[in-house]
Amino acid sequence: MVLLNILDYSPIFEGSDAREALLHTRDLAELADELGYHRYWVAEHHYVSSVAGSTPEMLMMQLAVSTSRIRIGSGGVMLPHYSPYKVAENFRMLEAFHPNRIDLGIGRSPSFQIVNRALNEARDKRISYEQQVEDIYKYLTDDTEEEHRFKKLIAMPAIDTIPQIWILGSGSGSARLAGAWGSAYAYAHFAPSSRSNGQEIVKEYRNNFKSTSLLEKPKVMIAVFVIIAETAEEAEDIAQAFDLWLLSVESSHQPPYYPSIQTAKERGRSRIEEEKAASNRTRVIIGDPEQVKAGIEEVAELYLADEVTIIPQFYDARNRRKGIELLAEAFGLNAGG
């Protein structure tokens, strides 16, 4: 059976605030741990008012302390913003406290230009993303033999275990890079550009994969939005708010919060928005537990995936708790799994 994971953006629901969103993320991770989900990842989004997940490493420490079994990870750290050495030390620190439970998912989303400038303000020279990935591997494997500009440098703390490394992406560049470095690959089926040639991209990863001491054979994770409720009708109601949120975040007008179902229904949509929302529905699985289970299994089969990561980006805290409970029951998960 395909392994089932969760990626959480920590949405800030209408009438709530960022602190409540983060506390809800902690509560949802604790529940996912109890229910038997395999991984719980948190995202990095900057300057997006409707989500609270901005610093995954900090949030991961809280979640790792609050859980006992589930793997905790980043989905992902946007590497071009940071020093690979510092990222490696952050994740070694997490791994030191929680051995064999930490995942380092890395990506290269550019974020908003103003964010990119602010995070790189003091850096007059930048290295390539490909070089940064090489650096991460060097620092996490304590490699002091291969030629490198910091050949003898070791990342601290010195520990016996290594976080799992995942390269995130939705294009052939990330697939080739993951294959070349023998990394696990997380494919963003939920991304706007992902649906047309996703199978070819994942195939390219597998064809280019080179086994390493960290990973002997390719490992593929597929990430997809989901909306789960007890009935298909209820799920469709909840999906109205998701449609509006996605339309808003992908427009030039950032929403101040994740809208309620009532707000979405009262606002309505233009014809152009209706067309866009219909297109966006290819990025999300909506329905009752059995319908969502079937959709996840279909996606897993499509990509021959080892794992599927659901993104329960829907309104509200109560619905999200109920949704992951229903899905865990449909899949027959258990905390010992």
pLDDT in tens, the chain (337 residues): 789 999 999 999 999 999 999 999 999 999 999 999 999 999 999 999 999 999 999 999 999 999 999 999 999 999 999 999 999 999 999 999 999 999 999 999 877 888 888 988 887 788 999 999 999 999 999 988 888 888 899 999 999 999 999 999 999 999 999 999 999 999 999 987 665 789 999 999 999 999 998 999 999 999 999 999 999 999 999 999 999 999 998 887 788 999 999 999 999 888 999 999 999 999 999 999 999 999 999 999 999 999 999 999 999 999 999 999 999 999 999 865 4
What pLDDT is stored for residue 107 in this prediction?
95
Tokens of 62: 């809280």
CB 316 within 8 A of CB 260: yes
Looking at residue 146, its amino acid is: E
Please state the separation of Cα 208 from the chain's center in Å.
23
**Partners of 309 in the β-ladder:** 5, 223
Residue 212 domain-assigned?
yes
Residue 57 domain-assigned?
yes
Residue 278 domain-assigned?
no
The 10 Å CB-count burial string (b at 16+, else e) for 175-209 is: bbbbbbbbbbbbbbbbbeebeeebeebbebbbebb
What pLDDT is stored for residue 336 in this prediction?
54
Residue 269 domain-assigned?
no
CB 297 within 8 A of CB 194: no
Domain count across the chain: 1
Q: What is the CATH number of the domain that holds 88?
A: 3.20.20.30
CB 134 within 8 A of CB 181: yes
Length of the chain: 337
Q: What is the C-alpha radius of gyration for the chain, rounded to an integer number of angstroms?
A: 20
Q: Quick one: which of 144, 146, 162 has its CA closest to 154?
A: 144
Tokens of 330: 């449909």
What pLDDT is stored for residue 66 in this prediction?
98
Residue 257 domain-assigned?
no
What pLDDT is stored for residue 226 in this prediction?
98
What SS3 state is found at 79?
A: helix
The 10 Å CB-count burial string (b at 16+, else e) for 258-284 is: bbbbebbeeeeeeeebeebbeebeebb
Residue 270 domain-assigned?
no
Residue 255 domain-assigned?
no
Q: H/E element holding 220?
A: strand 220-228
Residue 91 domain-assigned?
yes
Q: Quick one: which of 10, 4, 14 has its CA closest to 58?
A: 10
CB 5 within 8 A of CB 310: yes
Q: Which domain holds residue 113?
A: 3-231+283-331
